[in-house]
Amino acid sequence: MFLLVYSISDAVKEVLGELTFLKSGIDNDLLNYSAVARFISPVVSTKLGYEAGLEAVAVAVRRYVESNTSKNNQSAKLLESVKNAKIILRSDLCLLVVKQWLDVNFLQEVNSVLANVDFRAGEKLYVIVRSNDLVIVCNSRFLPVFESKLRLPAKLSTRLTDLSLITVNLQATAFEIPGLLQFFSQQFDAAGINVEEVFSTRGKITFVFAQRDAARAYEKISESIEAIKLMPLKQK
């Protein structure tokens, strides 16, 4: 009969696996093992049911990092893809969420507006369809048009104006690498910018946010991409 023992290494592996914000540091071996050990030691001890020695936790952290960097380096692959990204900023947008749209076939009303959108001139109309929600992101000039077409029982549950969006253009293969959305979300978080809506198609991710944050958002995303271009990326 074999008795499976839950070790310090097991607990450290589990804790570090849960702390996804450390992933980039782990993948690129940028962590101070002692500092990480101090940070996670209380959680590790809780999982073990007894107080784990700091030195033992630090050793387990080092082994975890070495194990991960030797197996693969998804972070380097991700950064390699991101550094070739192109970004586009657009403003003067609004966001609408229509509830119970199926009851009045509001999608047909959207189609009637579609013919008036000058895509070649840069106008935008994005539609996200769910069973009970119809999300529309479009130029502000279409807001009164959509509002005039609403009829019960459909109703407008969300109405946001003075919005901007950033679309990140990437190679389609970038979407095969875990962490892509997280990378860009972290840039908005670091800049203190709230993302109102996010959607993607193969090769593009679009983030919608308040127009007052447009310059700051564009600068933050641009700087992060330029910084990656200066990194000596090595895929293992």
- Render pLDDT for 22-62 as a digit per residue (tens, 0 to 9): 776 776 667 788 888 899 899 999 888 888 888 999 999 88
Global model pTM greater than 0.95: no
Q: Is the predicted pLDDT of residue 172 greater than 50, yes or no?
A: yes
Q: Output the six-digit token pair for 209.
A: 């946010």
pLDDT tens sequence across 71-96: 456 677 888 888 889 999 999 999 99
- What is the structure's pLDDT at 13? 87
Alpha-carbon span 173 to 161, nearest angstrom:
34
Q: Is the predicted pLDDT of residue 140 greater than 90, yes or no?
A: yes
How far from 182 is each of 79, 144, 207, CA to CA, in Å? 12, 35, 12
Please state, for a pLDDT cut of 90, what percent of the chain lies above it: 49
Distance of CA 122 to the CA centre of its chain: 25
* Region for residue 173 given its phi and psi (left: phi exceeds 0; alpha: psi -120 to 50; beta: otherwise): alpha
Q: Is the predicted pLDDT of residue 232 greater than 70, yes or no?
A: no
CATH 3.30.2130.10 is right for the domain spanning 82-229: yes
Q: Is the predicted pLDDT of residue 227 greater than 90, yes or no?
A: no
Buried b (16+ CB within 10 A) or exposed e, 164-196: bbbbbebeeebbebebbeebbeebbeebebebb
Alpha-carbon span 108 to 106, nearest angstrom:
5
Burial (CB < 10 A; 0-12, 13-18, 19+), residue 43, is middle
> Domains of the chain: which residue ranges?
8-71, 82-229
